[in-house]
A and B are shown apart, each in its own frame.
Chain A
Amino acid sequence: MSTLLLKQVSFHYQGGFALQDIDLSLPEKSFLALIGPNGSGKTTLLQLMSGLLQAKSGQVRLQDRPLNTLTRRELARQIAVIASDQYFAFPFPVVEIVAMGRFPYLGRLQKLTDSDRQIVEESLQRTEIGHLRDRPISQLSSGERQRVLLARAIAQSPAILILDEPNTHLDIHHQIEVFRLLQHLNQEHSMTVVVVLHDLTAASTFCRTVALLSEGKLVKTGTPQEVITTETIRSVYRADIEVHPSPMGGFPQISYR
């Protein structure tokens, strides 16, 4: 059974841009990278998958239920999303930000239970930010903030974790750390992970499945070896590149000409 299933999903904005006839199935424990040139519809597709946008036609199903029949709370217990731009107007301590992940499980005016607190603690440990717990989020570096947001998403205990370019503001050390953590969540905790990526080498190194979007259409879905080829990438991105197998294990990597 697939965790998330998109059947003939179409969407268009009033301005004109459209996603057409997207068919995509995410089996349990998938690790999917959405790639494609700027303006190809990656973020729109992500928003359709997370329930933020409603498909104009076709259907998105989550564990065999139409996505739009879930309440906000039910949705938040199943899907956690980390958007690409984050702005912190107020100096909430890290632990309170992470505890916000428990919101969909709490009644109005209900306090965090012991098990909620334990989940928050585990999320802090897993992302290795236990030592930052009482620091205000506004004082942290962007790498640390990214880990806080990951911790909050983990605290939501979702079946699916969706991230929009999680590596944009990070140096390579932190990028690798984030991807390792995502792999761990995917393999040990059976979380389905979907990431939008610009970095094709990262996509092919860390993700098991790659879906390539171009001009609102899904042009190819498969393993990195199947999708990231010199021919395909050259034509879709109109970039003068060469793809060759990495010496680290054969997955495709990109060289610029």
Chain B
Amino acid sequence: MKGTHSLLILLVLTILLAGAALFIGPVSNPSWAIIQGIRFPRVLLAIIVGAGLAGAGAVLQGVLRNPLADPFILGTSSAAAAGVVLAAVLGFQHYSMLYFMSIGFALASIFVVYRIAQIDGRAPIQTIILAGVIVSLFFNAAVFLFFSIFYRESFTMLFYLLGTLTEGSWTLIGISASIITLGLGLTWFFSRELNMLTQGETTAFHLGVDVETAKKLLFVAASTLVAASVAVAGMIGFVGLIVPHMMRMIVGPDHRLLIPASALGGAIFLILADALARTIMPPLEIPVGALTALLGSPYFVYLLRTRQNAGDF
């Protein structure tokens, strides 16, 4: 009951902050047009992208059995971005191609990371970081390759890659929102299996879990969540690390609560981060992805050191 209570509080907080965020920005007396046309889609984006990235983080941490996993650190975001950029430079007009390539690249990258990082049934942080660096380097290089061959006006694309919530297309926002809602629903449906998987794949097998199916499904769901977020907002890092970690302290490690809590927490986190990014250096706006990375990296180091001291890997 305590858990459901926390979820309710998080939900109310999300709605209140979303409402407040509509009135925060470089223009202090915004017209209705600004609120409706610019800020509203932006806050909506913050909610869906935050929910998608934080939900994906919680899932990946569970399957890899490591609370320090994150789509950005694992290189999943880079892979999804490479898919988006490739779809753009190849001139695919239809949205389905954009999402198809983004999801495909993300899924491939998770598969590679899993194969590289896993030792004796779990992924220790050293190999996770290693695999993530390798995968990120590869896909970042691919992005620059696509740029140098095809692209002449790469500045907007570069800004996108840094992570922003300025996407104005309602179609893209709508598609991503639907995919992320579905993805979160699917992971929640398998959250008990995810709890079992955190005990180890062999143990999960002996407890009656169809391990291969559950794992595949959760990986597909996680990469879909990441890809749908990256497709509209670029690479916003560390949301998937910071938020599930904080939510675990509030609702505990049970994924039946942790996944919805992370989704709401991610929304709150990104609404706040974006409000900060819009107002910290007026009239300039900094990419929210740069901001979360600046905040997230030290947080990661902090978690790494405290867990290391506790001998807890």
Residues of A within 8 A of B (CB): 50, 52, 72-73, 75-77, 79-81, 83, 85-93, 96-97, 100-101, 103-104, 106, 108-109, 138, 156
Are A89 and B65 in touch, CB under 8 angstroms?
yes
B169-216 residues with Cβ-Cβ distance < 8 A to A are 189, 192, 195-196, 198-200, 202-203, 205-210
Q: Is there contact, CB below 8 Å, between A72 and B209?
A: yes
Find chain B residues with CB under 8 A from A138 CB. Answer: 312
Q: Which chain A positions have C-beta within 8 A of B192?
A: 103, 106, 108-109
Give the A-binding residues of B (Cβ under 8 A). 61-62, 65-67, 120, 122, 189, 192, 195-196, 198-200, 202-203, 205-210, 248, 252-254, 312
Decide yes or no: A76 and B189 within 8 Å by CB, A86-B200, A90-B198, A92-B254 being known contacts.
no
> Cβ of B189: which chain A residues have Cβ within 8 Å of it?
108-109
Q: B205 — which chain A residues lie within 8 A by C-beta?
A: 52, 72
Q: Indicate if the CB atoms of A90 and B248 lie closer than 8 Å.
A: yes
Contacts of A104 in B (CB 8 A): 207-208
A104 to B210, CA, bound (A): 11
Q: List 10 A-B contacts (CB under 8 A).
A: A50-B206, A72-B210, A77-B208, A80-B206, A85-B120, A88-B199, A89-B198, A92-B252, A108-B189, A138-B312
Cα–Cα distance between A83 and B206 once the two chains are bound (Å): 10
Residue of A with least CB distance to B248? A90
**11 extra interface residue pairs, beta carbon distance < 8 Å, beyond A96-B254, A101-B207:** A83-B206, A87-B122, A87-B200, A89-B66, A89-B122, A91-B253, A92-B198, A92-B253, A93-B252, A106-B192, A138-B312
B208's partner among A73, A87, A96 (CB-CB below 8 A) is: A73
The 6 A-B pairs with the shortest beta carbon distances in the complex, nearest first, are: A76-B208, A104-B208, A90-B253, A81-B206, A89-B65, A73-B208
The answer to whether B253 touches A103 (Cβ under 8 A) is: no
Residues on B with beta carbons closer than 8 Å to the beta carbon of A80: 206
> Within the assembled complex, what's the spacing in Å between the Cα atoms of A85 and B122?
12
CA distance A81 to B206 in the complex (A): 6
A22 to B120, CA, bound (A): 27
CA–CA, A138 and B67, complex, Å: 13
How distant is B156 from chain A, measured CB to nearest CB, in Å?
41
B209 lies within 8 A of A103 (CB): yes
Q: Which residue of B lies closest to A110 (CB)?
A: B192
Given the interface pairs A89-B65, A90-B67, A100-B195, the reply to whether A52 lies near B209 with Cβ below 8 Å is no
Most chain B CB inside 10 Å of its own CB: which residue of A52, A83, A89, A103: A89
Chain B interface SS verdict (over half): loop
Contact A156 B207 (CB under 8 A): yes
A6-B196 Cα distance, complex, nearest whole Å = 29
Smallest CB–CB gap between A152 and chain B, Å?
A: 8
Q: Which residues of A are found within 8 Å of B254, using beta-carbon distances?
A: 92, 96
A165 to chain B, nearest CB (A): 14
| Bound form: Cα–Cα A55–B52 in Å | 43
Most buried by A among B67, B198, B203, B207: B207
Do A52 and B202 touch across chains, with their CB atoms under 8 A apart? Answer: yes
Q: Which of B61, B122, B198 has the most CB of A within 10 A?
A: B198
Nearest CB of A to B163, in Å: 28
Q: How far is the CA of A130 from the CA of B198 in the complex (A)?
A: 23
CA–CA, A175 and B293, complex, Å: 49
Q: In the complex where A108-B189, A109-B189 touch, is A100 in contact with B199 (Cβ < 8 A)? A: yes
Determine the residue in chain B with the shortest Cβ distance to A80: B206
Q: Which residue of chain B has the shortest Cβ distance to A79 in the bound complex?
A: B206
Q: Which A residues are in CB contact (< 8 Å) with B120?
A: 85
Q: A90-B248, A90-B253 are in contact. Are A103 and B67 (CB under 8 A)?
A: no
Query: B118 CB to closest chain A CB, in angstroms?
Result: 13
Q: Which residue on chain B has the smallest CB distance to residue A76?
A: B208
A77 to B208 alpha-carbon distance, docked (Å): 8
- Smallest distance from the beta carbon of B216 to chain A beta carbons, Å? 15
C-alpha spacing A109/B210, complex, angstroms: 16
Cα distance A50–B189 when bound, in Å?
28
| A92→B196 CA distance, assembly (Å) | 11
In the complex the two chains form, is A87's CB within 8 Å of B206's CB? no
B210 to chain A: which residues have CB within 8 Å? 72
**CA of A86 to CA of B61 in the docked complex: distance in angstroms?**
17
A106 to B193, CA, bound (A): 12
What is the CB-to-nearest-CB distance from A69 to chain B, in angstroms, rounded to a whole number?
15
Which B residues touch A96, using CB under 8 A? Answer: 195, 254
Is B207 a contact of A100 with CB atoms below 8 Å? yes
A133–B207 Cα gap in the complex (Å)? Answer: 20
Q: Of A79, A83, A85, which is in contact with the most chain B CB atoms at under 10 Å from its CB? A: A83
> Nearest B residue to A162 by beta-carbon distance?
B206
Query: In the complex the two chains form, what is the Cα distance from A138 to B209 in whole Å?
Result: 23
User: Contact at A83–B207, with CB atoms within 8 Å?
Assistant: no
Q: How far is the CA of A86 from the CA of B121 in the complex (A)?
A: 10
> What is the bound-complex CA distance between A89 and B63, given in angstroms?
10
B68: min CB distance to chain A, Å: 10
